[in-house]
Structure 1
Amino acid sequence: MADDITTAHNASESRYEIHVGDELAGVIDYRDRDGVLDMYHTGVEKQFGGRGLGTRLVEFALTDARDSGHTVIPTCPFIASFIDEHPDFADVRA
C-alpha cells in the first residue's frame, strides 16, 4: 500500500477527500447552507482504517473551511468530537 497521502476539497461533489496513492480512502460529505458547511458524514474505507486518516481529513476540512471564511455545523459525531478535543478549532463551529 502506498504512503502517498493527499487531501482535497472536491466542491463539485460537496465533499472533502483523502487519497492513499490513487485510491479514495475517505470522505467528509457536507451541505453548504449559505456559507455554513453542515458536515454530516465522515467515512474511511475499512482497508485504510487505523492509520489516522479520518483525523487527518477532519483537520484538513476544518482548516480549509476556516481559510475560506466558512463556519461548520458538525452534525457528524466524529467531527463534533474532534472540535471538542481541539479547542483551537472552536472558532470554526457555527
Structure 2
Amino acid sequence: MAETSTITVRNNPDRHRYELLDGGTVIGTAHWMPFEGPEGPQRIFYHTTVDEAYGGQGLGSALAREALDDTTAAGLPVVPVCPYIKKWLAEHPDHPTDRAPVQPEHLAAVPRQERQ
C-alpha cells in the first residue's frame, strides 16, 4: 500500500493532463483538452485513471478534486466527458465547479481512441 504522505497532484499543461504522483512517479492521470465554445474557453475532461496498485485509497477522488479546483481557479468551465469526472461531480453537487453540459461538438473534439 502506498503512503499517502508522498502523494501530490500537478497540472502538466504540455501533456494536457493532471498527474497524480507518488514521489516522482506518475500513478494516475486526468486527461483534458482545451475547447473554444460559443461562450468562450472550456476544458474537456475525457479520461481519468489511477494505477491499480493504488486503488481503494480515495486517490482518484483527490485527483478529480484538485483538477477541478485548478480548472475553476483558472476561470474555465468543466466539460465532463470522462465517466469518472461526471460521476465525481454528481456525487459532489455542492462543489464549486463551473460545469458546461456535454454537447455533440465536445464529443467530436475528443479523439475517438480517447473516448471512454
TM-score, with structure 1 as normaliser: 0.92
Q: Is the 8 A contact 2:69 2:97 kept in 1?
A: no
Between Structure 1 and Structure 2, which shows a larger proportion of helix residues? Answer: 1
Question: 2:89 and 2:83 mapped to 1: Cα distance?
Answer: 10
- Give the percent of matched residue pairs that are identical in Structure 1 and Structure 2: 35
Q: Is the 8 A contact 2:10 2:18 kept in 1?
A: yes
Moved >3 Å (runs of 4+): none
Question: 2:68 and 2:16 mapped to 1: Cα distance?
Answer: 14
Aligned residues: 94
Q: How does 1:14-53 map to 2 (within 5 A)?
A: 14-34=16-36, 35-53=41-59
- Structure 1, unmatched stretches of 5+, are none
Once the two structures are TM-superposed, the CA of residue 93 in structure 1 deviates from its matched residue by 0.9
CA radius of gyration, larger in: 2
- Structure 2, unmatched stretches of 5+, are 101-116
Q: Is the 8 A contact 2:18 2:31 kept in 1?
A: yes
- RMSD of Structure 2 on Structure 1 (CA): 1.3
Q: Is the 8 A contact 1:84 1:90 kept in 2?
A: no
Does residue 92 (structure 1) correspond to residue 98 (structure 2)? The answer is: yes
